[in-house]
Structure 1
C-alpha cells in the first residue's frame, strides 16, 4: 500500500498539504486538492482511519458491511446490530459488498469516510492480508462469519463444516444412503466448508461420495429449484437432499412437491440457517440453526468496546451449529 509520502511526491506537493487534502481541512487550494486526489487514485492510497480520527470527531455511527442487504439472513444480522447500537445511543450505516472485492473495498471506504466509530464487516471478497491491515488501522472493527488467523481475536464465525456434517449425519442415521447435496455456486469459504462437511459425513459412515449427487446453484430459492431439477433429471434414486441454506431448500422442496413426490415420505430435505422461511414452508423444514443474531450482538458490542479503548473479554469466536428437527425428514 502507498504511503502519504509517496502520494505527496506523486502530486508534487508537501506532506503537510497532502494531509490537509486527505482530511478535508479548510484553506487548501483547488489545484492541490485535484493533484493529491489524482495521486491517491493512481497509487491506490487509502487514508489511515486513525489519522482521520485525529482531525474529525466520530459520527457516533456503527458501520455494517453485508453481502446483500435484501437477503433475509443479513436482515436478521443488521436488526441484531441495530438493536444493540440503539441501546448504546448509536446509529447504523449499511453497505453491500456482494462478495466482490472492489465493491467491498468501496463500501468499507465509504463507511470509514462517514466517520463510523465501529465497523462490523461481513467480507468474503477481500483477502486475509487486506482485512488484517484494516483491523490494524481501525481499533473498532470486527469481522463476522469469517476466521482470519492473524487477527483471530477480531473474528466471530460459525463452524460451517460441522453444521453440514450434522445435517448429513442426521439423514444417514434416519436410514438414508443415497443423499444428494445442493451446493452454493459462490466461491467462498462457507460454500466450501459446507460441501466438505457433507462429503466427510458420508465417508465417515462408509458411504462413497459421488459427484453426480451434487448440484450447484445461486444460494436462493431459484437456484435451489434449478439444482433439484438437475438432480431429478439424473434419475439417481435419491431418497434425501441436504442443502446449502434454507432458501435453496425451499426452492428444492417446492419443485419436489410439484412433481408429485411426497415430503418426507418419498424424499427427505434438510436446510441450513434456520431462517424464518424454515418455519413457514410446508412441511416445516428440518435445518441447522445459524445463531447469527447472537453472533452479531457479540460482534457489535465488542466493536464498540474496542473503539472506546476498553479491554475486551472474549467468550468465544467459533460458534456451534445446532440441529433443529421439524417435519421434512423421516426414517427410511
Structure 2
C-alpha cells in the first residue's frame, strides 16, 4: 500500500505539501494540488483517518451502541446520527448492545480498543456507576435515552413519565375512565416511568388502574397481540388501551379487530414513539411523538464536540414527547 512518502517522491514535492493536499490546506498551487491528487489516485493511496484527525483536530470516527438494528425506533435514531456524521465527514462504528449487561459492556470496550473518543451510547443494562466510569475514561461519551444526574450534561433523554401522563390525559379528556395498559416486559426504567405517568394522570381524575389492568409482554407487534389476548381472556373491562409503543399498539389493535371489537368505535388505542408504522395502521394511530432523530443529532454533535475538548456546559438535555392525534382514539359509546 502506498504511503505519504511514496506520493511525495512520485510527485517531486515535500511531505508537508502532500499533507496540505490531503487535508485541503493552503499554500499549494492548483497545478501541484491536481498533480498530487492524480498520483494518489493512480497509486491507490487512502489517507489514514486517525492521522488526519490529529491534523484537523476533528474526531475521525464516532462509536455508536444501540440495542438492535432492525427495530424502527432505532433505525430512526441511527438516521439522526448519520445525518450529522455525514455533514461532518465522520465515519460511524456501530455495535449492538442487545439490552444485556455483558454485551453492552463489550460493545463499548471494543470501541475503546479502536481508540474511539466520541461515542453515542444507548445503554439500559449497565449500572449508573459503570456508565459514569466510562464517561470519565472517554472524552466524548454521551448517553441517549437515559439520565444520570452525575453526568447530566452528557445525557440526552426523554421524560417518559411526562409521556405517560400526556397519553392518559388525552384518553381521559375524550371521556374514557376504564383504562388498560399493554407494556414492555423489558427490565428497564422506561416502561415503569410511563406507567407512573399514566397513573398520575388517572389519579388526578379519580380513576383507578389496578394491576390486573396492566399486561406485560415483548415490546413488538406480537407482544401487543399477546398482551391484548390476555386482557380479553380475563374479561378486563376497558374502553381505552394505552400501549408502551406503536408496535404494541398495532398488535393490540389486530387482536381487538380479530375479536370483532372495532377501533375506535368500541375501544380506543394510543401508542408511543410515532414511528412510520403509526401512519399506516388502520385506523391511523394516535400516538406520542418521540423526537428521537433530533435527540440523536444533538447527542452526536455533543459527542464530537466533547471529544475535541470543547467546553462542556453543565446543563441537561431533556425532551418531552408531544401528542399526535389521528384516528384510533374517539369518545366512548
2 CA distance for matches of 1:172 and 1:74?
30
Partner of 1:255: helix, strand, or coil? helix
2:197 counterpart residue number: 197
Of structures 1 and 2, the one with the larger relative CO (CA 8 A, separation 6+) is: 2
2 CA distance for matches of 1:59 and 1:81?
14
The reply to whether residue 129 of structure 1 matches residue 154 of structure 2 is: no
1:266 counterpart residue number: 266
Native 8 Å contact 1:60 1:117 kept in 2: no
1:319 counterpart residue number: 319
Give the number of equivalent residue pairs.
279
Q: Deviations over 1:7-65 (max 9, x none)?
A: xxxxxxxxxxxxxxxxxxxxxxxxxxxxxxxxxxxxxxxxxxxxxx9xx9798111101
1:34 counterpart residue number: none
Partner of 2:265: helix, strand, or coil? coil
2 CA distance for matches of 1:174 and 1:59?
50
Q: CA deviation at 1:311?
A: 2.1
2 CA distance for matches of 1:177 and 1:256?
19
Q: CA deviation at 1:237?
A: 2.5
2:6 counterpart residue number: none
Native 8 Å contact 2:59 2:307 kept in 1: no
Following superposition of structure 1 onto structure 2, how do residues 81-92 of structure 1 map, counting pairs within 5 Å?
81-92=81-92
1:25 counterpart residue number: none
Native 8 Å contact 1:178 1:239 kept in 2: yes
Following superposition of structure 1 onto structure 2, how do residues 1-332 of structure 1 map, counting pairs within 5 Å?
60-312=60-312, 316-332=316-332
TM-score normalised according to structure 2 size: 0.81
2 CA distance for matches of 1:66 and 1:274?
19
Q: CA deviation at 1:236?
A: 2.1
2 CA distance for matches of 1:89 and 1:115?
18
Root-mean-square deviation (CA, aligned residues, Å) is: 1.8
Q: Which protein shows a greater Rg? A: 2
Native 8 Å contact 1:61 1:115 kept in 2: no
Partner of 2:323: helix, strand, or coil? strand
Q: CA deviation at 1:208?
A: 1.8
Partner of 1:235: helix, strand, or coil? coil
Structure-2 change in CA distance of 1:315 and 1:153 (3 Å): closer
2 CA distance for matches of 1:242 and 1:174?
13
1:36 counterpart residue number: none
